[in-house]
Amino acid sequence: MTDPRPTLGLALDQVGRIIDAVRPEQLDLPTPCDEYAVRDLLGHLLSVVRRIDHALQGGNALDIPVITTGTDDWSADWKTYRAAADATLADDTLLTRVCRLPWGTVPGAGAVAAYSGELTTHSWDLATAISREDLLDPALAEAVLPTVQQFIPADPRGGPIPFGAVVPVPADATPYVRLAGWMGRRV
């Protein structure tokens, strides 16, 4: 397995760019991730970057709430939490470290790959909600899609597999549309 950290770095960069593009009047807009408006998704993304850092240091990702609340400067908080995660990601031993994620226990390399898929999907959700798909890197979606398809089964969905049914998309769909469809997003 190649080192998955560069892909995670690209996903973290992309999320940061999109967070920086959110305007206050967009906070209550719906997102393709049905349970989240833009404000909620921003809080969830802050939690995801915190979970990455916490889990890769040996903590249980579930110690971090699903949505980080109590902020109105998502960009500044993202940068702070991202810096902490970057420091943790610099440790080569984390790739074999056991990590406790919400869906199970995996080696650090698997956690990094999983979070790359989550962040890439949610970056599409956020970019779509604020009409800034121009900030998305198609190569990133292309890179994470095979891993997402390998580790998130097409069936069953629902219950312990917290994704809607796979949404069929055209064979020539963009990488983000293919990723979103696999994750159960209506595109």
- C-alpha closest to that of 100 among 113, 110, 87: 110
Average of per-residue pLDDT across 171-178: 95
DSSP state string for 19-44:
HHH--GGGTT-B-SSTT-BHHHHHHH
DSSP 162: -
Place of tokens 């921003």: 42
Q: What is the mean pLDDT of the chain?
A: 94
Structurally, what CATH architecture does the domain formed by 5-182 represent? Answer: Up-down Bundle (1.20)
What pLDDT is stored for residue 186 in this prediction? Answer: 85
pLDDT at 25 over 90: yes
The structure's pTM equals 0.95
Rounded CA separation 127/138 (Å): 13
147: its two tokens = 């891993």
What pLDDT is stored for residue 48 in this prediction? Answer: 97
Average of per-residue pLDDT across 38-50: 98
pLDDT, tens digit (0-9, with 9 covering 90-100), for 160-174: 667 888 999 998 999
How much of the chain exceeds pLDDT 70, in percent? 98
DSSP state string for 107-160:
EHHHHHHHHHHHHHHHHHHHHHHTT-GGG--HHHHHHHHHHHHHHS-SSS-BTT
Which of the two residues, 152 and 53, has the higher pLDDT score? 53
pLDDT, tens digit (0-9, with 9 covering 90-100), for 110-130: 999 999 999 999 999 999 999
What pLDDT is stored for residue 1 in this prediction? Answer: 62
pLDDT, tens digit (0-9, with 9 covering 90-100), for 48-93: 999 999 999 999 999 999 999 999 899 999 999 999 999 999 999 9
Helix crossing, 74-89 with 38-56: angle to 10°? 20
What pLDDT is stored for residue 161 in this prediction? Answer: 67
